[in-house]
Structures are given as C-alpha cells and as structure tokens.
Amino acid sequence: MKWKNLIKVAFKSIVKNKMRTLLTMLGIIIGVAAVIVMVAIGKGAEKRIQDQIASMGTNLLTIFPGSMQSRGVRMGPDSGVQLTLDDVERLKREATLVQAVSPMVRSGAQLIGGSGNWNSSVWGVSEQYLEIRDWSLSSGEFFSSADVRAQNKVCVVGQTIVKNLFAGDDPVGQQLRVRNVPFRIIGVLKERGQSSFGQDQDDLIIAPYSTVLTRLSGQVHVNQILVRAVSLEQMESAQAEVTAIMRDAHRIPEGGDDDFTVRNQTDIAATAQETSSVLTMLLASIASISLLVGGIGIMNIMLVSVTERTHEIGIRMAIGARGHDILVQFLIEAVVLSLSGGLIGVLIGFLATWIVNMATDWVTVISPTNVLLSFGFAGAVGIFFGYYPARKAAALNPIEALRYE
Amino acid sequence: MSDEHAVILTAGIGKIYDSGEVQVEALKGIDMRIEPGELVAIMGASGSGKSTMLNILGCLDHSSSGDYYLDGIHVNELVPDQLADIRNRKIGFIFQGFNLLSRTSAFENVELPLLYSRHLEGEDLAALTRQALERVGLADRMHHFPNQLSGGQQQRVAIARALVNQPAMVLADEPTGNLDTRTSIEIMATFQKLNRQGITIIMVTHEHDIADYCKRIIEFRDGRIVRDQQVTQPRHADRDLESGHWQASGLGERP
C-alpha cells in the first residue's frame, strides 16, 4: 500500500471520530500546556531568586591589602603593601568582566548637625558605589563623578543619622559638620536594618573618596577596593582577572605570593545556585510526570480504540489490508494525535503563561528549549505509546477480528 | 494437483477447532471444484461447516489439513501478507451484517480495497469506485453514509466494494440473512446479473428459496458434503420481482 493512501486512511479515521480524537489529545494538550506554564513560572521564580540574591551582593569581590611575611611570621592585614588609587584606575581600565569599581576609605568621625552630635563612620567611595552594592536612596541623590573629581564636600547619610540628628526629618540640603569640616547632605540611604551579625547598617555617612582622603583621613592608600562582576556566572573568571591585574600592578613575579587578598561571597552564590537548581529539578520532574501521564492516556485510548475497532480492523483485513498497513495506520494516527495535541498544548501554554503574567505580579520566562523539548516529547510519547496498541491491532487474526462484536 | 481452469480446487480440507480440552472437527475432508462463471449456493444447517468452509475459501481462516488452490495458486504455502494481497486482488467478500465502516460514505467504503491495493499504478481510483457503484445501481447514493441507506442499499454498497478490485470470485456469507424477502430477491437479481457478466459467485445460505436462484447447490452436513447438484432451471430473480410471484408462493416465510 502506498504511503499516500495510508496517510489518507489514517486521517479519515481521525476526522471521523472527533470525540475520540479530542479525548486522546486532551491528555497531551494538558500535559504540554502544564509543562510550559509551570516551567515558565519556575524559571521566572528562579530568575527572581537570582536577582534577589544578586542584590545581596553576590556579584561583589572585595580586595584587601595582603599580609606580609616577616621572617616566617605572618603579620595581619594592613601590615604590608597598601592598596592605592592607581590599583583602582588599572582595574577600571583593564578589567573586562567587571561592571564597576570603587575604592573604600573608612574613617570614624564625630558629626555635628541638626539637633546635636553623633559618632559614626565615614565611608569614602566612588560614584559607582550604589550600583556595586545594589543600594538605593530614599530621597535626594548620590554624588557624581564630578563631585569626586572636585573633592566636593557632599555626603549621603544613613537612616540612623537622620533619626539621631534630624529627628526623622528629611535632611537633604542641610549642613553636617564632619570632624568640623562642613558637608552638605545631598541624599538619604534607604533603611537596611541590622546585618546578620547584628551591626547597624544605617549608621554611616558616605562621601566621595577624594574628599575623605584629603579632608578627613589624610592617608594616601585605600582600605579596600570593591569590584562588581558582570554576572553571577562570571564570578570566578572575574576574580581570576582581577587577581591577574592586581599582581601585574604590584609587579609580583611569577610564583611570588600575592600581597593582597580577593574575597568573594562564594557561599551565598553557591546557595543561590543550589536553590535554583533544586527548583529546576523539581519542576522538571513534575513536568515529565505530567507528560508521562498524558502519554499513558494516549496509550489507554489507543488500546481501547484497538478493542473497540477490532471489528473494523477485521473488515479492513478482509478486504486486503496487511498487518503492516494496520500497524502504520494506527501509528500515524497516534503520532498525528500527539503532535497536534502537542501543538495545541504549546499554544494554550503560551496563552496561560500570558494570563498568569497579566493577572499576577509573577515573573514568567518562556524558554524555547523547554517548548521544543515538550513538543518533541509529545511526539515521542505518541510513537512509543502508540506502538504497542498498533502492534496488537496488526497481529489480529482476520477471522477472529471479524467475529468480534 | 493444480488446475488452471478451476477458480477453486480443494482436496481433503479439514478444520479442527481446538479449545484446549474439547476438539471440534468442523470440516472432514472437503473436495470441491468450482469453475469460472459458476453461481454456487452452499447450504446446510448451523454448525454444518458451511461458513467455516467459506472463510477458508476466502483466505480469512486456515485449514487444519488438505490443499487449497485458488485460481491456480497454492494458498497453503502463502504467508499472511500474501494472503492479504490474495484477499485484496482475487476475492470479494460479502457479509451477512454488511460490515461497512460506519461514518464513512458509500464511496469511501467502496474505495477502501483500492487504497490497500498494491498492484494499481496510476489508475483513476475515483473512476473505478464510481464504476463499481454504478454496477449495483447506487451511483446516486455514493455520498450517503451507511446509516442513511436501507439494508438492501447497504448490501449493494458491500457488493460494490467486493467488485471494485475485479476479483476472480465473490464470496458471500448469508448475504440476504438480514434482509426482507423482496430485498433478498433484489440482491439475488444483482448476483444473477453480475454472474451473467462472468463473475464467479459462491454464497452461503440456509434458505432454500434463495438457493433456488443459484445454478449449483452444495449441501453440507456435519462437516461433509452430502449433496452437490446442478440446478436445471434456476429461478429468475428479475422475473419474480416483476410478477410478484414470490408473494403468492409464500417465499417470504422463514424457517
């Protein structure tokens, strides 16, 4: 029998039994649509978790001055070569996997302003600091690169300062004397609360590092250099790159020990990776189970269909259909059913994802791989679960099939 | 043992149904020879083996012993796929229950054997299908579904389906069993007309009135042939329909 005719016969059979066709496809439609929606929501959640963890500073690399060895005795940090603004400039110029760089100059200071005085710490950083830490302001603005270049006496203050010196009023535009140097407050940081170690993270003022170096601390070196890598995935390569640039800047010969330390927040990053991979695995398993159930549904209907159509198979054999013809007809039916079911499932999956997106504030990410995979799986399921009933049909004895009522 | 002239030649055909504990010998050595152009009625009571014989002749069932030559082909040696092709090319089968595919138009039912056929190359399948339907007088009903046709029309669709591949013979298993008397005679008229055109027809029936329209009657009893005779003057179906003779003779009464 010619293929064209076989396909014709199979299609006629599909079209003639609309109810059966629909019921068979339903399992696959729901399976594929569920997989697409679920994975889209899951991927969205994964992305959100990653974003949140990234905002905790997982992309952050911190460079500390290294320890020095003196006759076998290792000294603490700050005992050897210091980090300088030249290091910062080189990192800015040469590093490719780095999004932003800022020096950090720390100094304690007595503050006078508003209603009284307060002791706090002063951080001198670059205009990219907010971006590096993913912090934001509750009012006012952050200082610019022009402020850094001109060593302007401007600062951004934390919520604790606002509470203690300005009684909670917006202090933007007010004056604050830091170690008797008058600064103008241009912004207020958003509240960040306690750190996990119980530190008050709102008790600080932030000013351009150039101003802090010249006006307040009087030192030439910086305490730390903060670097933000372009992405979580690139952390390791970024760290390697930063290390190489620093070694070159400090002219450390090959084989020599680093005179600085680069730290990352590996454990947070690892947790983030683990969380999202567990989530992905969970979703993948639920997804495959629902597709499998859809596949078993197809097999079920195909088996019932073989039994129900035994008499029809007998008629077909009596007028000259070979076992192979019956097998191919049933296989074509199964594949067409599962592929068109898969296609409809993909469309419904897109639609449902769109509705979820509109109706809730969940982030959804439709991945093309996932769509292709579930569609391909639907086809595979059709062939796999269609084969057994088809073979059963093909093996029927014509006279027994004919007698079956 | 093969003979080029006979459509059917069997020697010692036996059939044993084995249901594990009980063995039933349905056929006990049937020798039969049917020439082209015959119109044969196989008669017998239920369980006489006549339908079993017809199924073996139609290559739907295997014999347990004996040899069967169909149109010179030794059927016993064929594998299932070859048997399927034989059924497709050489045999047209007509059933008591019509056995049309439901939700499938008359045209599509008749076309089906052509779709399964392997020897047709580039022929106009639609034209062949229409021709077969015209031969049974159903050209105007070809797009009706079986449930829109009367019993007699459905059986004529089945006859057209049996004829469409131009088979060597037509086998009919109680073709009038589900039909009223007038329609039965109409079907017999169709058979007689096709037979006059040269088609060999072998039909199973247990009604003597129907068998009277055939040219030869073979009677089965308990798996053996007990009578095989030529009918000297077969009834003429067309004439009976015209004259209404069948009503007067009480032909419609069934056993």
Tokens of A355: 């509705």
User: How many domains does the structure of chain B reveal?
Assistant: 1
Write down the pLDDT at residue A20.
Answer: 78
The beta-carbon neighbor of A322 closest among B55, B84, B161 is B84
Measured in residues, chain B has a length of: 255
Residue recorded with tokens 């020096």: A103
Instruction: Kindly list the averaged pLDDT for each block of 10 residues, start to end, along chain A of length 405.
Output: 76 81 82 84 78 70 73 57 86 88 89 86 91 86 91 92 87 89 92 75 90 85 89 83 88 82 74 73 77 76 79 90 88 84 90 88 81 83 79 84 81
Burial of B253 from C-beta contacts in 10 A (0-12 / 13-18 / 19+) = exposed
Establish if B27 belongs to a structural domain: yes
Write down the pLDDT at residue A28.
Answer: 81
At residue A41, φ and ψ (nearest 5 deg) are -65, -45
Interface touch A322/B116, C-beta < 8 Å: yes
A137: β partners: A189
**Domain of B170, in residue numbers:** 8-253
Q: What is the nearest CA distance from B88 to chain A, expressed in angstroms?
A: 4
Amino acid at A144: S
A-interface mutation test, from B108, B115, B118, B165, most A Cβ less than 10 A away:
B115
Write down the pLDDT at residue B2.
Answer: 45
CA gap A67, A73 in Å, rounded: 10
Establish if B2 belongs to a structural domain: no
Q: What is the pLDDT of residues B117-162, one digit of tens each?
A: 887 777 788 999 999 999 999 999 999 999 999 999 999 999 999 9
CA gap B6, B36 in Å, rounded: 6
Strand pairing report for A224-229 and A137-140: unpaired
Interface touch B115/A8, C-beta < 8 Å: yes
Establish if B3 belongs to a structural domain: no
The beta-carbon neighbor of B103 closest among A16, A321, A399 is A16
Establish if B96 belongs to a structural domain: yes
Its ipTM equals: 0.89
Q: What is the pLDDT of residues B62-98, one digit of tens each?
A: 999 999 999 989 999 999 999 999 999 999 999 988 8
Q: What is the nearest CA distance from A394 to chain B, expressed in angstroms?
A: 11
Write down the pLDDT at residue A67.
Answer: 61
Q: Is the pLDDT score of B109 beyond 60?
A: yes
Interface touch A399/B115, C-beta < 8 Å: no
A-interface mutation test, from B102, B103, B116, most A Cβ less than 10 A away:
B116
Q: What is the pLDDT of residues A189-216, one digit of tens each?
A: 988 877 666 778 889 999 999 999 888 8
Write down the pLDDT at residue A57.
Answer: 63
CA gap B61, B90 in Å, rounded: 15
Establish if B76 belongs to a structural domain: yes
Residue recorded with tokens 């045209």: B107
Write down the pLDDT at residue A312.
Answer: 87
Q: Which residues of B touch A (CB under 8 A)?
A: 55, 58, 60-61, 80-81, 84-85, 87-89, 93, 95, 99-101, 103-104, 108, 112-113, 115-118, 161, 165
Interface touch B99/A323, C-beta < 8 Å: no
Write down the pLDDT at residue A273.
Answer: 67
Establish if B169 belongs to a structural domain: yes
Q: Is the pLDDT score of B255 beyond 70?
A: no
Establish if B1 belongs to a structural domain: no
Interface touch B116/A12, C-beta < 8 Å: no
Amino acid at A4: K
CB atoms within 10 A of CB A53: 20
Write down the pLDDT at residue A77.
Answer: 54
CATH classification at residue B176: 3.40.50.300
Q: Using DSSP, how many helices (H) and how many strands (E) does chain B show?
A: 9, 10
Sheet hosting strand B73-74, strand order edge to edge = B23-34, B8-18, B65-70, B73-74
Write down the pLDDT at residue B37.
Answer: 93
CA gap B55, B167 in Å, rounded: 16
Amino acid at B49: G
Interface touch A1/B99, C-beta < 8 Å: no
Write down the pLDDT at residue A2.
Answer: 67
Distances (CA, A) of B73 to A190, B6, B65, B237, B246: 97, 11, 17, 34, 41
Establish if B142 belongs to a structural domain: yes
Three-state secondary structure call for residue B82: helix
CA gap A380, A331 in Å, rounded: 11
B161: nearest CA partner in chain A: A319
Q: pTM value? A: 0.67
The beta-carbon neighbor of A12 closest among B80, B95, B108 is B108
Interface touch B104/A312, C-beta < 8 Å: no
B99: nearest CA partner in chain A: A315
